[in-house]
A and B are shown apart, each in its own frame.
Chain A
């Protein structure tokens, strides 16, 4: 069964610092994707970045990048030059091809970036 774990319930950083948020997952499938979302204080879910299992290159999108360690079933979200507007709750989610298009979410990491 698929499972996603985010062991950091909270995190903090100062303006301009690099932030790393960790996620681990369980899957026996070859084809899967990992998504990162940020939940704003309003509740809105915003898609940030995704990593496909078959791509060995770490994905990047603006200030967001991932560190994908496939053999360890681990993926980290890296936010460069963090800003107060980056505060929110960050969710990691697993999607396996065999199960169609469903996302299994972790419990989230609540990040606070101090100005």
Chain B
């Protein structure tokens, strides 16, 4: 069973503080993703990675950094958190394009920036 684990599940941060969201996958997938979900917007891609050491900007990367130190781990970093970054964040992993390969999602992290 594909497994993607996010931590923490809930986080309250102060404006201007640094926040790190972590993601671990045991699927041995090359690709990992960070999405945020907001009402009326669906899921929007922030950063993604094709393998250890690589990170790519998604559709809404401003204010976020990403780090992929290993195949299994992918972090999302908010250096200076702002209230507009209050959202639910989802990490996902996926194999290479083709067939029924799809993305497997973590349970989400609810972040509130006060």
Contacts and interface: CB of A to CB of B under 8 A. Distances in A.
A7 interface: no
B70 interface: no
Nearest to B35: A105
A102 B33 contact: yes
Interface residues of B, number: 28
Contact of A100 (B88, B97, B102, B107): B97
Q: Determine which residue in B35, B44, B58, B102 has the highest number of CB atoms from chain A within 10 A of its CB, and name it.
A: B102
Contact-residue bracket for chain A: 20 to 34
A91 to B, nearest CB: 6
Contacts of A43: 88, 107-108
26 contacts: A4-B42, A35-B102, A43-B88, A43-B107, A43-B108, A44-B105, A44-B107, A45-B92, A47-B104, A91-B42, A95-B97, A97-B97, A100-B31, A100-B97, A101-B94, A101-B95, A101-B101, A102-B45, A102-B48, A102-B58, A103-B33, A103-B45, A104-B45, A105-B44, A107-B41, A108-B42
B50 A100 contact: yes
B73 to A, nearest CB: 18
A61 to B, nearest CB: 10
B13 interface: no
Interface string A83-115: 000000001010101001111111110000000
A68 interface: no
